[in-house]
Structure 1
């Protein structure tokens, strides 16, 4: 299970309209992911803003990046999202039931 700090970092990184749109696009793309240029074109996010958002999401371990030639492809780290959900269920919902 993820620790509280990692969970907070992931939640704060995805709690932005553009970042959520990026995450949705990458999740839909599957394991191959999308290049930064493809994300920019698909979501109409200027490259400088996109770079900032991708960096924040990668720092929070929500995305992974791989280089293929001159392109960088990003894909979702589904295990991190599952870890966030598990953390919330275990520490919020299960704990609440124990108190009832």
Structure 2
């Protein structure tokens, strides 16, 4: 992950509603949730939710797919893992500190 990608993801998550949406989508797992269900769960108006989902999609941490007439949004777990790897890349100066890592960068 590049620094600009990490900054975009962190910036998108640095807002209360977007963080709530993302955490709900993480809890929902790879199947994601329909927009209507997200709105009900978080008590958000459709326009407000659309605005925040757009930011999360642009940051690359949420995906969207169509199922019939419904839009299903899901957390992008690969990108989330990439962000976690980027943030922990130089953890403990390379010493094994118990931080779970998906991969080590060369």
TM-score, normalised via structure 2 length? 0.83
Distance of 2:18 and 2:68 partners within structure 1 = 25
CA RMSD of aligned residues (A): 1.3
TM-score, normalised via structure 1 length? 0.87
Structure 2 unaligned blocks of 5 or more: 95-106
Q: How many residues are treated as equivalent by the alignment?
A: 94
Give every structure 1 segment of 4 or more consecutive aligned residues whose post-TM-superposition deviation is greater than 6 Å.
none
Structure 1 unaligned blocks of 5 or more: none
Higher helix share: 1
Give CA-to-partner distance per residue, 1:42-79, whole Å, 9 cap, x none: 00011111000000000111111010111100000011
Q: Which has the higher contact order (CA 8 A, sep 6+)?
A: 1
